[in-house]
Amino acid sequence: MRAIIKYECMKQSIKIARIITGVLFIFSGLVKAIDPLGLGYKMREFFEAWANDGFLKGLMHNLNEYALFFSVVMITLEVVVGAALLLGWQKKLTTWLLLLLMIFFTFLTSYVLFTGKIRACGCFGDCIPLTPVQTFTKDIILLLLACMLLINRKHIHPVAKPWINSFYILLVALLTLLLQWYVLKHLPLVDCLPYKKGNDILKLRQLPADAVMDKYDYTFIYEKNGEKREFPSTALPDSTWKFSDRSQKLVEKGRNNVPVINDFSLTAQDGSDVTTTILSDSATYYLFFINEVDKNSTKWISGIRKFIEDSSHKVYAVTSQKALTSDFLLKNNIPVKDVLTVDATALKTVARTNPALYKMKGPVVQNKWSWADFDEVE
């Protein structure tokens, strides 16, 4: 009797572990699937960090070029493994894939946590930001569940006939790929970025009201008659001493002291910062973000040209490659009011498609469109 109870408890435990893990994998994959480019950028951070550490530097630089491809594959695999767990499809293959993925994810989150070289791992995309401690803890728990499921996979039973389950898995994979294709061509279905519709960019560039700044203890080094001596900031020497150097030591770490938007600044042709001037314009205007000028640019030229020619509003081109973009716009007779520059990293966050168009009124984002939707611009 005791053996039967123990067996039934194990079956129920495996069932619960299977549901929790499967649902989490599907949820995590779909959250990232609405913005696969974001995960691609995060993968580039890892490749660049490892290259800077001297780990297979050449290979890391090469892999960097395929970050978006790896992102799409990883997201699709994550959703498929989650669905396979719930369906009980190919349990040996699925549980081994689950374990390998969790070992890989745990490695990434431990690297983020213990090196501090990457701010976050992006496990749930930009919609659900987690701290490195939270993501590492989550992955340790899921790793234990993966081991448990692999060892006790005999308790995993398919919910339908093999060919039906295989059809479901194929359908899940195709739908996940289709979703990612759509948002890469258009824009994320759910916008969790700081530049989403309705956000005030100037306000988000300010420090939060409850920000607590880092506190430092400063030590000053002065020199007199060839002798150097350290003095605290509360007891500086008289004028006979000559200042030599200063050092600082972090006494207390602040919190919430980084603006939501901290790298977005518009620069004019003369090098001046015109961010506040442009974003304070009370009239409606448009920001035309161009990340790169590439061979596919011809797809959107006629649409943006027609819109600008028919529009009575100002349209500013914003890019990180001023010379190339200016020449391209001139060559294709796209009459923007001015070409402004912005940090390349900020541009990747602002424009999830290349290019993208923002409708602005003052500092507030009114609407945004991908190049594939330029014919729908209001």
Condensed to tens digits (0 to 9), the pLDDT of residues 32-88 reads 999 999 888 888 888 888 888 877 777 888 888 898 999 999 999 999 999 999 999
Whether residues 241 and 265 fall in one domain = no
Whether residues 25 and 162 fall in one domain = yes
Condensed to tens digits (0 to 9), the pLDDT of residues 322-351 reads 888 888 888 888 888 888 999 988 898 899
**Domain tally for the chain?**
3
pLDDT at residue 328, rounded to an integer? 86
pLDDT at residue 335, rounded to an integer? 87
Average pLDDT on 220-245 reads 86
Whether residues 245 and 284 fall in one domain = no
On the question of pLDDT at 143 being above 80, the answer is: yes
Average pLDDT value over all residues in the chain: 87
Whether residues 90 and 19 fall in one domain = yes
Q: Residue 206 domain-assigned? A: no
Q: Residue 191 domain-assigned? A: no
Q: Residue 70 domain-assigned? A: yes
On the question of pLDDT at 222 being above 70, the answer is: yes
Whether residues 163 and 230 fall in one domain = no
Condensed to tens digits (0 to 9), the pLDDT of residues 270-282 reads 889 999 999 998 8
Structural domain boundaries enclosing 359 = 261-376
Whether residues 301 and 330 fall in one domain = yes
Q: Residue 196 domain-assigned? A: no
Whether residues 287 and 362 fall in one domain = yes
pLDDT at residue 1, rounded to an integer? 66
Whether residues 22 and 154 fall in one domain = yes
Whether residues 27 and 139 fall in one domain = yes
> Which 3-state string (H, E, C) describes the chain?
CHHHHHHHHHHHHHHHHHHHHHHHHHHHHHHHHCCHHHHHHHHHHHHHHHHHCCCCHHHHHHHHCCHHHHHHHHHHHHHHHHHHHHHCCCHHHHHHHHHHHHHHHHHHHHHHHHHCCCCCCCCCCCCCCCCHHHHHHHHHHHHHHHHHHHHCHHHCCCCCCHHHHHHHHHHHHHHHHHHHHHHHHCCCCCCCCCCCCCCEHHHHCCCCCCCECCEEEEEEEEEECCEEEEEECCCCCCCCCEEEEEEEEEEECCECCCCCCCCCCCECCCCCECHHHHHCCCCEEEEEEECCCCCCCHHHHHHHHHHHHHCCCEEEEEECCHHHHHHHHHHCCCCCCEEEECCHHHHHHHCCCCCEEEEEECCEEEEEEEHHHHHHCC
Average pLDDT on 247-254 reads 78
Whether residues 56 and 180 fall in one domain = yes
